[in-house]
Amino acid sequence: MANLTSSASWIAQRLDVKHRIGVAVHARPGAWAIAAINAETGEVLAWDGWYFDPLTEAETRPLADLPWDEHEGSPGALLQQGNATWLAGALGRWLAPTYSVARCAADLIGTHVNTHDYPETPQRFHESPVVAYLPVVDEDVLLARVEVESRAHPSLTAGALPLLRSILGR
């Protein structure tokens, strides 16, 4: 996936939880997308397209608007507040039924790593702020699930395993 980046890497760097892969939700009025990203660089590893739904004001509130510099508690606690609307809605449904961020990210990477993008996609991602973010902390689960998917569907997942291994240093 060439030249597709998420602005979520700045969130990943603020968190007090070590992780190398994250799940970012980008939204703009009437549309949203979920992407698995390289937490260090913001490179989008996989995404499954835009969902066109009416969104509330709370669903389009950028995480960048949270008081990151003034917040006295854990950055994770602040992120939880920012994610609340999405976890109670579309992101929560995306995580169901396992509610495992690692498994859901692996399924996204395993099925959409070779997604072809329209020319306007990088600009749309750039213009659509990150409104929810989840770190993938269970790297072993993520990698094992992508390995299983790679054996079951080699043509669909071509490139996913080497990409993940390079990011995870394995």
Query: Is 1 part of any domain?
Result: no
Do residues 149 and 157 touch, judged by C-beta distance below 8 A?
yes
pLDDT value at residue 1: 46
Range of the domain at 64: 9-168
Query: Is 75 part of any domain?
Result: yes
Query: Is 100 part of any domain?
Result: yes
Give yes or no for a cis peptide into 29 (omega within 30° of 0): no
Assign 48 a pLDDT band (cuts: 50, 70, 90).
confident
Query: Is 130 part of any domain?
Result: yes
Query: Is 81 part of any domain?
Result: yes
Average pLDDT over residues 125-132: 91
* Run of H or E including 114: none
Total tally of structural domains belonging to the chain: 1
Query: Is 2 part of any domain?
Result: no
Query: Is 101 part of any domain?
Result: yes
Query: Is 4 part of any domain?
Result: no
Assign 116 a pLDDT band (cuts: 50, 70, 90).
low
DSSP label of 3: T
pLDDT value at residue 117: 66
Q: In the sheet that 31-38 helps form, which strands lie side by side, from edge to edge?
A: 44-47, 31-38, 21-28, 130-136
Largest CA distance in the chain: 48
